[in-house]
Amino acid sequence: MKATAGMKPAAASAPSALDELCINTIRTLSIDAVENAKSGHPGLPMGAATMAYALWTRYLKHNPSNPDWPDRDRFVLSAGHGSMLLYSLLHLTGYALPLQELRQFRQWDSKTPGHPESELTRGVEVTTGPLGQGFAMGVGMGIAAHHLAARFNGHGHTPVDHYVYVLCSDGDLMEGVASEAASLAGHLKLGRLVYLYDDNHVTIDGNTSLTFTEDVGERFTAYGWHVQHIDGEDLAAVGRAIEAAQAETGRPSLIVARTAIGYGSPNKAGTAAAHGEPLGADEVRLTKEALDWPLTPEFYVPDEVAAEFRKALPRGQRSEDDWHAKVEAFARTRPDDAALFRRMLAGELTQGWERVLPSFAASDGPMATRTASGKVLNAIAPVIEGLIGGSADLAGSTKTYLEAYPDFSAEEPLGRNIHFGVREFGMASVLNGIARHGGLLPFVATYFVFSDYLRPALRLAALQQSRGVFVFTHDSIGVGEDGPTHQPVEHLASLRAMPGLQLLRPADGNETVAAWKLAIEHPGPTALALTRQNVPVIDEPERIREGTPHGAYVLAEAASGAPDVILIATGSEVAVALGARKILQAEGIEARVVSMPGWGLFEAQPREYRDQVLPPSVRARVSVEAGASLGWRQWVGEDGDIVSLDHFGSSAPASVLFEKFGFTPEVVATRARAVVERTRRQEA
């Protein structure tokens, strides 16, 4: 690959006085902001300032006036605690982050939170701080860039032509998620990744000799990465290494850059004391003296420094203009592709896409919701052109393979099926990276119990509102013989507690279709909990289609319209509730069945609707869900009963477990009868 269009990298050279001044501005802005906030991490920005300066002024293709320009290079500060490095760079190069925001570092309502938040600050590509995840999201961005390049570049056109740069720390590289992502990136030969490893030998607790003595370079060589070792304070060496990394098109690159944490601080540089707390007034003074920096004013940006950094503005505008010209040329020769390209970058859905959604009839026979999900995925893949994803070595059993499309690989980057390997956390971080990159709509899949493995990435998806779908199959003791290690029990409740996540547990094939529709249209992350085992297709397609978007709805009304009891269920237990309703009906007890696939959606409904579905006057209520009871009291009320599972499962066929653990129509009917009798006594 040739050098990035629109950029003429200066030849690497010895630092000029201006270079030094620029680098020290990054350092002192970071020092002052942390000091001012009385909180933060000065050490990383001080040590990594040289690298960051080289990258941001000589190589990074970006337009501070338009942080969302699709063909910009991506920069990820995986070591998010060094946020002042990023804020300094954003401010200095001309993003909409005035000095006043740096003065408000870590304060209420500022744009400069303790760790970078993409949802809050323009120019911040991804939310980082939880270590390792920025590293892995960078891999996701690289996958997105490679795939989009494969789809739209060619015949002399390169509308997709950018790099992903990641700055990471010792802590990032100790985290397992970074290992997973690094192994995957090496396997996929993602040549557009350039990772700068701030090898400063210091963590919070002290020197890395305490815990981290592996040969990182050798490890990355084993993953198939291109590895260089440099002095990270040597501006020329940094430049040469970045250029070599850019030139390496068949492998991701790791630049192991030896730096000194807290560079410039006479007493704290190279020690853990520089890591995570303000230097202190005395040391700030000594450091500024050592850097030959005026003690006042604080937050000082020399005019020549400002002028130098702000060159990014016209240069960035030129880069973007060049790109627009490229895209126009592309559009002239391949108008349909260009239209698709623009629509995908805008995240727009094809008009009428939902017409391809399948529907199921009771006559189709029982069907696992994972199977219905697989049919939906395959139906929509042709019309949701940006849909791309895969599973953590469970393509077959999660039913997430797009049959009409090839596998994504180094040799076939056009593929839309990503094999993630047994790397759940890495997979979910890749989803976040793809989602934040833009242009694609990612999905990932594993068994529901292994949502635990990727939970930290699910949280970051919820926090930064990554648009993407987490397909979790095998969602209960319905897993059967694999036993309690593979049977989720607490997972529905535990994810209901997470803000910002749309969690849906559909009851049958048609509710699965409706859930997928919600997922595709949702601007943030959705998690689908799907069965392994077959469930009947419920013969109420209309109610289901209309009801599901409300989160809960009356699936089966009491014959009289005046229920004696309400059975509330989710997922596979909806069929159990319907069975119980029949038994009760035969005894003259009228039961309404409410299907409640999405708690959050239902909570967001107007009270009027909620009271229609769960009339306050009907105090006899029973919930049925093969999972933890936590939270269900909210829906069944004080007089209701909760049919739940508050212990781990067991290894046996699923049907045996449902029987043994009381998830049968008979047991639910018995529990409902008792509730009806109790409430009648109370009312009498």
Residues 363-392 binding a second copy (CB under 8 A) are 391
Residue 335 dihedral angles phi and psi, to the nearest 5°:
-60, -40
Minimum distance from CB of 154 to a second copy (Å)? 26
280 contacts a second copy (rule: CB under 8 A): no
Is 348 marked active-site? no
550 contacts a second copy (rule: CB under 8 A): no
226 contacts a second copy (rule: CB under 8 A): no
CB contact at 8 A, 72 and 323: no
**CA torsion, ordered 366, 443, 570, 399, to nearest 10 deg:** 20
Which member of 30, 50, 127, 253 binds a second copy (CB under 8 A)? 127
Instruction: Write out the H or E segment, with its range, that includes residue 389.
Output: strand 387-391
- Alpha-helix residue ranges (DSSP H) falling in 473-572: 491-496, 509-521, 541-547
337 contacts a second copy (rule: CB under 8 A): no
Q: How far is CA 659 from CA 371, 549, 664, in A?
A: 23, 31, 6
545 contacts a second copy (rule: CB under 8 A): no
Instruction: Write out the H or E segment, with its range, that includes residue 226.
Output: strand 226-231
Nearer to a second copy, 490 or 557 (CB): 490
- Alpha-helix residue ranges (DSSP H) falling in 248-334: 281-290, 303-310, 312-333
Which member of 32, 35, 101, 175 binds a second copy (CB under 8 A)? 175
Nearer to a second copy, 271 or 350 (CB): 271
Give residues 20-79 in contact with a second copy (rule: CB under 8 A).
37, 39-40
Which member of 366, 484, 549, 662 binds a second copy (CB under 8 A)? 484
Q: Give me the 654-683 binding string for a second copy, x by CB under 8 A, dash otherwise.
A: --xx--x-----------------------
556-591 per-residue burial string, b: 16 or more CB within 10 A, e: under 16:
bbbeeeebbbbbbbbbbbbbbbbbbbebbeeeebbb
CB contact at 8 A, 535 and 475: no
557 contacts a second copy (rule: CB under 8 A): no
Which member of 295, 325, 497, 604 binds a second copy (CB under 8 A)? 497
**How many other CB atoms are found less than 10 A from the CB of residue 20?**
15
Nearer to a second copy, 200 or 510 (CB): 200
Q: Which residue has the tokens 């727009």?
A: 348
Residue type, 557: E
Q: Measured between alpha carbons, how far is 203 from 494 in angstroms, rounded to an integer?
A: 32
End-to-end CA distance of the chain: 82
**Hey, what are 439's tokens?**
């242009």
Give residues 452-481 in contact with a second copy (rule: CB under 8 A).
452-453, 455-456, 459-460, 462-463, 480-481
Task: Please choose, out of 63-71, 372-380, 421-429, 528-536, the segment that lies near a second copy by the rule CB under 8 A.
Answer: 421-429
Minimum distance from CB of 456 to a second copy (Å)? 4
Which member of 2, 8, 156, 213 binds a second copy (CB under 8 A)? 213
Give residues 639-658 in contact with a second copy (rule: CB under 8 A).
646-648, 650-653, 656-657
Catalytic residue, chosen from 424, 511, 540, 573, is 424
Minimum distance from CB of 187 to a second copy (Å)? 5
Nearer to a second copy, 11 or 674 (CB): 674
82 contacts a second copy (rule: CB under 8 A): no
Minimum distance from CB of 599 to a second copy (Å)? 9
Instruction: Write out the H or E segment, with its range, that includes residue 473.
Output: strand 468-473
Nearer to a second copy, 508 or 625 (CB): 625
Instruction: Write out the H or E segment, with its range, that includes residue 22.
Output: helix 17-37
611 contacts a second copy (rule: CB under 8 A): no
Nearer to a second copy, 353 or 405 (CB): 405
Q: Measured between alpha carbons, how far is 459 from 498 in angstroms, rounded to an integer?
A: 7
The gap from C-alpha 290 to its chain's centroid, in whole angstroms, comes to 42
Nearer to a second copy, 217 or 347 (CB): 217
Task: Please choose, out of 43-51, 94-102, 375-383, 629-637, the segment that lies near a second copy by the rule CB under 8 A.
Answer: 629-637
Nearer to a second copy, 70 or 130 (CB): 130
**CA torsion, ordered 187, 191, 193, 196, to nearest 10 deg:** 90
Q: Measured between alpha carbons, how far is 235 from 12 in angstroms, rounded to an integer?
A: 8
Give the residue numbers marked as catalytic. 424
